[in-house]
Each structure stands twice: as structure tokens, then as C-alpha cells.
Chains A and B, each alone.
Chain A
């Protein structure tokens, strides 16, 4: 298997085959929270791609250079990663606020929300322990570049579904839906159909 193809498979597997929202149910709270308008879901997507990639890279470095050599990874990874994510988010927020006010206006309100987004934590954990949250690619150690590609893949998969879903929900507002199905229940039914469609990716390229 040549190098580029392997990176593609890592990306494809992370984004579509084991889509973080629909196949693994990670990160659903922001998914149903912000997906009722296209604009907010775009802002959320950009922030998630940004934070997730950074968080995974820093976690990978922390795991491979600090936690693992010291032999404390197994029982310190939860507090370590969550602190990395929380401080990173805070830091990114401050930097953006100082350097680019328009970007801050677009991303600012989503950044604190991302701290408790389980998808970011899962991506960080997965990039150092592949196969931890799925049965795929088990017993395999990602290099730094692969870990980054993997987390970008997860983030792209997240954004893709979030934006599609927001577009559908905007149309649903005008649809004639039985009264007790309006709002949350119909959103979940839509998600179920979406998830059914994504199950079609399972098994492609033996992933």
C-alpha cells in the first residue's frame, strides 16, 4: 500500500465509514443544539475543524513525548487530554479575539461550547490510541501525520453531516408534521434516515 493511499483510507474511514455523529453517536449535543440554522452550523463546523485538529496534534505530542515515556498514560490520559483541550480552547479564543475580530464574531460563541464537545475528546484519544472507540484499525499506532489526517477526517465528517442536517431542518420548519412530532422528534427521525444512508459506507475498502 503506498503512502498517499494509506492517508486517504485513514481520512475516508474517519469521515464517512465510521462517521462520528451517525455511526458512533459522539458529539450529538452540539449536533442537535446548533443544527436548526444553516448559518450557526457553518460557524460551528469551522470552529470544530480548527480546534479538533489542534487538540489532537497537541494530545499526540503529550502522549508520545510525556505520558507514555513516564509510564503514566493509562491513568492520567483523561485529565491530561481534557485539560489540554480546555486550555487550548481558551488560548485560541484569546488569540482570535486579539488578532481577528471578524473571525471572533463568527467563531467566538462556539468556542466555549467545544470544550465539552465529546467529539473533540474522542478525536484526541483516538489519534493516540487508534481503535479505542471503534473496532477498526485496532492494534495500530498512528504516526504524527496520520493522527492529524485522522482528526481532520473526523472533523470533516462532523461538519459534513452537521451542514446537510441543518439544511434539511430549515426545510422541515415549513413541512406539515403531526403536532407532537414537531421539533426534536422529527429531527431524530431525520437523523435515523441519515444514519441508515451512512451505513451504506460500511465495508468499503474493507475498512
Chain B
């Protein structure tokens, strides 16, 4: 991989190499809880991308003025303001807020955002920080979509998006467990086993070692 930082490279790495959910393992709570429906995931993903990108940009802008000892409280205040914006905006859509509302305030303590503020935005230029926010946010959204498509499709037998049925399996005995609490854990376990299997296989191809 090239050493030189490019905007595209910073954007791309968040999607696969440092995917927040599968590789860094941060921000799990919200992803497991909202992935029961594809629709929820779209709103949640967009909210996270917004908060992450905006707070990354602001923190990168003021990074030279932040005293080191109180940086965490400052990051948190910046993040909390953007979360409040999202929280109040989503309140105008009662149906969405009903299902998702509880997770919106929790974005403020979502480890992804604080981890990116601390680990990336506070020591990089604004444009890289913005691309990093977009990339990591998109990585989050993509994993969320994969999980929710799997859970909604097999848990209820069909995918309903904005009141229209997109896909229907025409089954009468869908395993409801997938959209209940244990289903979230099972889905994530399968996804991460898949990733581990892929990494092991790639390592074997490259190194040629048998073990």
C-alpha cells in the first residue's frame, strides 16, 4: 500500500480495512439494535455519517487550540451539539423517531465518533478528517445494511421499505428469532466468522503455509 496520503485513500480505508464495526469493533450497540429493519438502518447510518463528518471537521479545525488535558470534554461537547441537531431534526418525523429515537441520543456515546475524534481528527488536516468521517460512516452504513437485509429478509420473509414491499420470499414460517434479540448476535457472529474465514484463506494463499 502506498505511504502517501490521498483523499481517496483516506475515504476508502474506512469501508474495508478499518471498518468500524467488523475490524475496529466499535459502535456495536446501535448496530445490533437498529438492524431489525432496513429502513431504520438507512436513517441511523445517515445520522452517524452526518455527526461523524461534522464533528471530525470541527475538531480538525480547532485542533491547534485545544489544550491537551481537557481535549476529551471538548470533543464530547462538539459531538453532543451535532447529536442534538440530529435529535431535534428527527423529532419532526414521529414515526421514525418512535422506532429509532432512543438510539439517536446514544450516538453521543457511540465509541466510533469519539475514537475518530481522538485518534484521527485531532491530528490531521481538515480535508483528510472530512474524508475519514465519510469513509468510516459509509463503512458503518454498509455493514448495517448487510445485517438488516439478512435479518429482515429471513426474519420476516420480506423487505418493506417506506411502506412498499421491495422483496417477498412468500414464506409462511420465517424464523422470527432473527429479528429478535438473539438474532442480532447470531447475525453479527456469522458476519465476523465470514470475515475471519476470508482472512485466513487470504493468508494461506499469500504465505503458502499450511496450518
Contacts and interface: CB of A to CB of B under 8 A. Distances in A.
Interface string A94-117: 000000000000000000000111
- Main secondary structure, interface of A, reads helix
A5 interface: no
A120 B111 CA distance: 13
A103 B183 CA distance: 39
A189 interface: yes
Interface in B142-166: none
Interface in A144-167: none
Interface stretch (A9-17, A20-28, A57-65): A20-28
A28 B28 contact: yes
A180 B111 contact: no
A133 interface: yes
Contact of A87 (B33, B73, B106): B73
A79 B189 CA distance: 34
Nearest to A178: B193
Contact of B193 (A32, A83, A185, A193): A185
A83 B76 contact: yes
Interface residues of A, number: 47
A133 B188 CA distance: 22
A195 B181 contact: yes
B77 A83 contact: yes
Nearest to A186: B189
B127 to A, nearest CB: 27
- Among B106, B114, B197, the most chain A Cβ lie within 10 Å of the Cβ of B106
Interface residues of B, number: 43
Contacts of A26: 29, 33, 106
A22 B28 contact: no
B52 interface: no
A199 B180 contact: yes
Contacts of A181: 189, 193, 196
Contacts, number: 120
B185 A191 contact: yes
Given A78-B83, A78-B105, A82-B80, A29 B189 contact: no
B47 to A, nearest CB: 13
B102 A82 contact: no
A132 B196 CA distance: 37
Contact of B106 (A118, A180, A183): A118
A192 B193 CA distance: 15
A86 interface: yes
Nearest to B196: A180
A115 B185 contact: no
Contact of A25 (B84, B87, B184, B192): B184
Interface in B27-82: 27-30, 32-33, 72-73, 76-77, 80-81
A195 B83 CA distance: 30
Nearest to B114: A116
Interface of B: 25-30, 32-33, 72-73, 76-77, 80-81, 83-84, 87-88, 102, 105-106, 108-111, 114, 177, 180-186, 188-190, 192-194, 196-197, 200
